[in-house]
Amino acid sequence: MDTGEPKAKKIKLEKKKISQNALFGMGNPLLDICAVVDKDFLDKYTLKPNDQILAEDKHKAMFEEIVKKFAVEYRAGGATQNSMKVAQWMIQKPSKVATFFGCIGEDRFGEILKEKAQEAHVDAHYYEQSKEPTGTCAACITGDNRSLVANLAAANCYKKDKHLDLEENWKLVKKAKVYYIAGFFLTVSPESILKVAKHASENNKIFGINLSAPFICQAFKDSLLKVMPYVDVLFGNETEAATFAREQGFETEDIVEIAMKTQSLPKVNKKRQRIVVFTQGKECTVMTKGDKVETFPVLQIEESEIVDTNGAGDAFVGGFLSELVQDKPLEQCIRAGHYAANVIIRHVGCTLPEKPDFH
């Protein structure tokens, strides 16, 4: 019976749909090979139980041996690829919001990397070549320790003209509105980074980079400074920030001052003020906003719950980008970064539960 009363309208609040390929990442794809090993194995390859090194000639054979001798787990790794994976995990749907470019070999490890990227719902487009094998990082676990040995190999072979410049690939770059590249890629293809950075700047899109490691701020500071005028969001941790400040002659060790001075470095796109985000482990995260610096406490966690802090920085960036690409406020981006890092450090390597619990 119609009572003549107005019917209540159903209001459906729709979450703004993010388009596929809205987030673009480019970097060094590495296949992480994780295994619990024994002391004899570490001794054989003169590895310290808790360390991170680049593979030398004496380590080359260990990548095959670890697979033959121990039960191994394979994970798609490398800093930028990790961040893309985490961002996609935070977003969940649609799949393939995150795009990733990098170089792999035409081999078994390359095939595994492709499978792993697919499982993570990341739209990975690799440049495949046969000169060098797929880059790998062996994570040799003994007790609570993990010794990391990275062999960049194919990751070092990325070529702008052979991949980035191709029309079908550049189309994917143009589809994005947020771009992120770890500083590690400055050692591989600075010209590729510049092409993407200039595109973002000219189209008023967001380009982010990470200082990544003290050696990037030192040995590759010229390449870094060439990209800096196009950087809208700069990430780093406290050690990298201090090294960057020393190399730039900032004459301060105060992280807030370093953030302000970094923010005010020359910038091409004046429509966006640069945002500088420095994490400090369990201490507060520092972020420039407008003409001031804000600090954000990280989520508390018991020491006993921390399994592996290695992927925390990559996860923080992934969380941050997952909100940034949805035009969320910067405070929300930081909160998402802290959440993702807090999840990651409870697991070995950059591994994730099925779904995030972030609101």
Q: 65: helix, coil or strand?
A: helix
Tens digits of residue pLDDT in 1-22: 555 544 544 444 445 689 999 9
CA 25 to chain centre: 8
End-to-end CA distance of the chain: 42
230 vs 311, residue with greater confidence = 230
- Answer for the pair 102, 85: CB distance below 8 angstroms, yes or no: no
Residue 185 to residue 182: CA distance in whole angstroms: 6
Please tell me the distance from the alpha carbon of residue 143 to that of residue 297, in angstroms, as a whole number: 30
Neighbours of 314 (CB within 10 A): 27
Sign of the Cα torsion 132, 133, 137, 139 reads negative
Q: Return the pLDDT at 303.
A: 84
Average pLDDT over residues 219-231: 97
Q: Quick check: is 2 catalytic?
A: no
Q: Give the mean pLDDT of 196-212.
A: 97
Residue-level pLDDT at 350: 61
Residue entry with tokens 């320790």? 145
Q: What is the pLDDT of residue 311?
A: 82
Q: What are phi and psi of 181, to 5 degrees?
A: -140, 125
Token duo for residue 322: 């997952």
With beta carbons less than 8 A apart as the criterion, state whether 226 and 197 touch. no
42's tokens: 């570490």
Instruction: Tokens for 142, please give them.
Output: 């003994």
pLDDT tens digit sequence for 305-359 = 888 777 889 999 999 999 999 999 999 999 999 999 999 999 876 678 889 999 8
Question: What local confidence, expressed as pLDDT, does residue 15 receive?
Answer: 53
The pLDDT assigned to 169 comes to 98
| pLDDT (average), residues 125-148 | 91
Q: How confident is the model at residue 129 (pLDDT cuts 50, 70, 90)?
A: very high
Out of 123, 232, 308, 314, the active site residue is 314
Token look-up 């949805």 returns 326
The rounded distance, in Å, linking the Cα atoms of 61 and 321 is: 37
| Long-range contacts (CB closer than 8 Å, 24 or more residues apart) made by 263-267 | 263/288, 265/228, 265/229, 266/228, 266/229, 267/229, 267/230, 267/231
Report the distance separating Cα 34 and Cα 43, nearest Å. 17
Q: Are 149 and 62 in contact (CB under 8 A)?
A: yes
Token representation of residue 299: 């989520």
Q: Which two tokens stand for residue 207?
A: 């380009």
Instruction: Say how far apart CA 176 and CA 182 lie, in whole Å.
Output: 17
Output the average pLDDT for the chain.
92
Q: What is the pLDDT of residues 251-292, one digit of tens each?
A: 999 999 999 999 999 999 999 999 999 999 889 999 998 889
CA angle 147/109/128 to nearest 5° reads 120
